[in-house]
Structure formats: C-alpha cells, structure tokens
Structure 1
Amino acid sequence: MDKKALYNLTYGVFMLSTKVNAKENGCIINTCMQVANDPVRIAISVLNVNYTCELLKQSGVFALSLLDQECSFETIKHFGFQSGRNVDKFDGIPAPRDCNDVPYMGWHSCAVISGKVVEQHDLGTHTLFIAEVVDAKLLNTNAPLTYADYQNHVKPQPEAVKKDKKIIGWRCKICNYVYEGSELPKDFICPLCGHGVDDFEPIYE
C-alpha cells in the first residue's frame, strides 16, 4: 500500500477547546466532517496523548474554531506546540465563550461550532468523537485554512543545514516521537500520531 496516496485527502485546521470546571484547554486538530443532517452531527478525531482529549472525555462539550487564512503560525504554535498540562494556554487571552461557556478563538477564525459529544470510539492513536452541533456561527468572511495551506504557506520552511552536520535521529513535529537513526524510511508512519515523513525533522549531533 502506498500511504502517500492518503496525503491527497483534504483536511482543515481547527482549534478544539473544552473545559472541566475551572480547567480550560485547547489544541490544534485537522480532522472534522459533518456526518449527519437531522440532527446536525459532526465527527472529530483527537490524538489520545493530547490533554484536550483527556478533558473532552470528561466534559463532553467543546468549541471548534475554524481557523482562517489570516491565521499566523504563532497562533497555531501557541495552541498546538505546547501541552496544557504544563501551561495555561488561555492565560491572559480575552477569549469569547460559546453557549457551553467554553472559550474559543474570536480572532483568526472564520466560524465556530459548539458540540455535545454523543459517542466516542478509541481508534488506537486517536479517539473519534461524534457530536451533536448545539450552536454555530460565522465570525468573518475569510476563507478557511486548509492543512495544505498550512504546510505550504504558514508553517516555516526548514533552514538549509551544513553538509558536515551528522543526522542522528528524526523527531515528529506533531507529537515529538523520536526515530533513532540517520535515515528515515520513506514510508515511515509515526507510531504515536500516525503522521508521515513530511512531519518529521532531523536531529543533529
């Protein structure tokens, strides 16, 4: 099977947020689709190691901010490249709240969807949540950010590295899994988050 064929599937870029009592957190995900119309239901997939996934299993409610093409890498980095176990991602941010009192991104987002979980399925690396949409609203008229847009135009491109530096491993930029070895197999898939070689960066000695 040529797993690169899966790269042609289309994805968005979203900030998923939830809260349990006073604890609020959010993370970046790329998988959401509408799966039913009456009642309106959506499906989202969340990495099991994410703190947001842990909280969502407890709260059962979330806000999904649909990032737009004005979104900066710094915003995505803030919510996607650090863990809520170590930092309060909403500290000092005057984020608006949805009908479930969950904070969402009122900036760099073209819409927000509020959901109530009705089913969840553990898929190994991820949990699939099926949710009923309890509210939704447009925030601006900007086009939504796609995962391809993020990869090609938002994410910083790797800097050129001197040839005399030796590669000793490869780090997944999504979940920080480390593959030890100088060469990463072209068909390698991260065993933790399921991402391919395009989301790995070299580790130099």
Structure 2
Amino acid sequence: MDSKAFFKLSYGLYIVTSKNDNQESGCVINTMTQVTAEPSQVCITLNKENYTTQIIEKSGVFNVSVLLEKVPMETIRTFGFQCGKDVNKFENIAYETDVNDVKYLTENTAAMFACRVKKTVDVGTHLMFISEVEDAQTLSDETVLTYAAYHDKKNGTTPKSAPSYVEETTKQGWRCDVCGFIYEGETLPEDYICPICKVDASHFHKI
C-alpha cells in the first residue's frame, strides 16, 4: 500500500490548546473535521501520549486555532516539537481566552473554535474527541495554511506522534529523532542544529 496516497487528502494545520486547573498546553494537529452542522460539531484526533491530550481528557474542553499560511515556523516549532510540561508555550505568543478560559492564538490565525468534548473514541495510538462548538470567531480572511503547503512551502516535517506520519525511506543522510527532518549528507557537522526543531546533532541518527 502506498501510504503517501493519504497526503492527497485535504488537511489544514491547527493549534489545539486546553486548560485544566493549573495545567495548560497546546500542540499542532492536522486532523480536524466538521461532522455535523446542527448542532455544530467537530472531531479532532491526538496521540494518547501527548500532554495536551491528557489535559483535554481531564477538562473536557479545548480550543482550535486555524493557522494562516504566513505563520512563522517558530510558532509551529513551539507548539509542535516541545512538550508543555517542559516549557511555557504561550510565553511569547499573542493570545486571548475563549468562553472556557482556554487560550487561543490571535496572530497568524484565520479562526478559532471553542469546543466541549461530547464523546471520546479510542482509535489505537490516538484518541478522537467528538465535540460541540460552543463559540467560533473569524480572525482573518488571509490564506490558511494547508498541510501540503506546510511541507512544500515551509519544508515542514511530521512528528512520529502525528496520525499522518510516514517514515521516509528513500533519502540518505541523518534523521532528527525529534521532528524527522533529514540532513542529506554523508557526515553531519558536530555543531549542526536542526532547522525545524532546533535540537543539536546528538539527536540525529544515520539512515
């Protein structure tokens, strides 16, 4: 089976955030779908090991920020390749809070959706949260970032925890263990820093 055929499906790129008491975090996903119009419901899927997933399970609420194509890679790195247990992901981010007191991004964002979980479905490595939209706002009419544009225009990579992750087996070089970026070359410089997730050369292995 050609796993890359799934890349032909139309995806967006989103940042999901949640809060439970003194815990809050966010992560990047590419799986958000509207499932009904009346009532307004969407579903998202997140890896079970993700810190944001654990917070959503406890709080039952989350927010989705729809990213614009112009979003800087630094924002994606912050939310996509770091753990909220280790860093404050909102430290240098412009945000407001929704009706559930969950933070959402106000810059480089096309829209936001405040959601409450109605049903959780175990789909193996991930949990699917089927949720009712309690509030939605349009923040910009500029071009939204698609998953294809993230790869083609921003040279973005997919972490192993993502449902759309497919291991690259044709390229030769060194692969980042954190984000999957491949450095094509026989020798990796000792002072090399990953251009996507900013880890050092010790996090690369030969492929």
Runs of 5+ unmatched residues, structure 2: 169-178, 183-204
Distance 1:30 1:113 in 2: 15
The runs of at least 4 consecutive aligned structure 1 residues that moved more than 4 Å come to: none
Equivalent positions of 1:14-25 (< 5 A) are 14-25=14-25
Displacement, 1:141? 1.0
Tell me which residue corresponds to 1:196: 166
* TM-score computed with the length of structure 1 as normaliser: 0.79
CA contact (8 A) 2:94 2:106 kept: no
3-state SS of 1:18 partner:
strand
1:77-98, Cα deviation, whole Å (9 max, x unpaired) = 0110100121121235442111
1:131-184, Cα deviation, whole Å (9 max, x unpaired) = 00000000011121100010011236xxxxxxxxxxxxxxx85038xxxxxxxx
Distance 1:93 1:112 in 2: 15
* TM-score computed with the length of structure 2 as normaliser: 0.78
Q: Once structures 1 and 2 are overlaid, which stretch shifts more, 109-118 or 194-203?
A: 194-203
Tell me which residue corresponds to 1:76: 76
Letter of the 1:174 counterpart: P
**Residues paired across the two proteins, number:** 175
Distance 2:4 2:155 in 1: 20
Distance 1:194 1:12 in 2: 12
The sequence identity of aligned pairs, in percent, is 35
CA contact (8 A) 1:125 1:194 kept: no
1:64-113, Cα deviation, whole Å (9 max, x unpaired) = 00001111111100110100121121235442111111000000101001
Distance 2:158 2:30 in 1: 14
CA contact (8 A) 2:94 2:105 kept: no
Tell me which residue corresponds to 1:54: 54
Letter of the 1:153 counterpart: K
Tell me which residue corresponds to 1:114: 114
Q: Once structures 1 and 2 are overlaid, which stretch shifts more, 34-43 or 2-11?
A: 2-11
Distance 2:133 2:103 in 1: 16
Distance 1:93 1:201 in 2: 25
> How large is the RMSD of aligned CA atoms in angstroms?
2.0
Displacement, 1:115? 0.4
Change (3 A) 1:69 1:194: closer
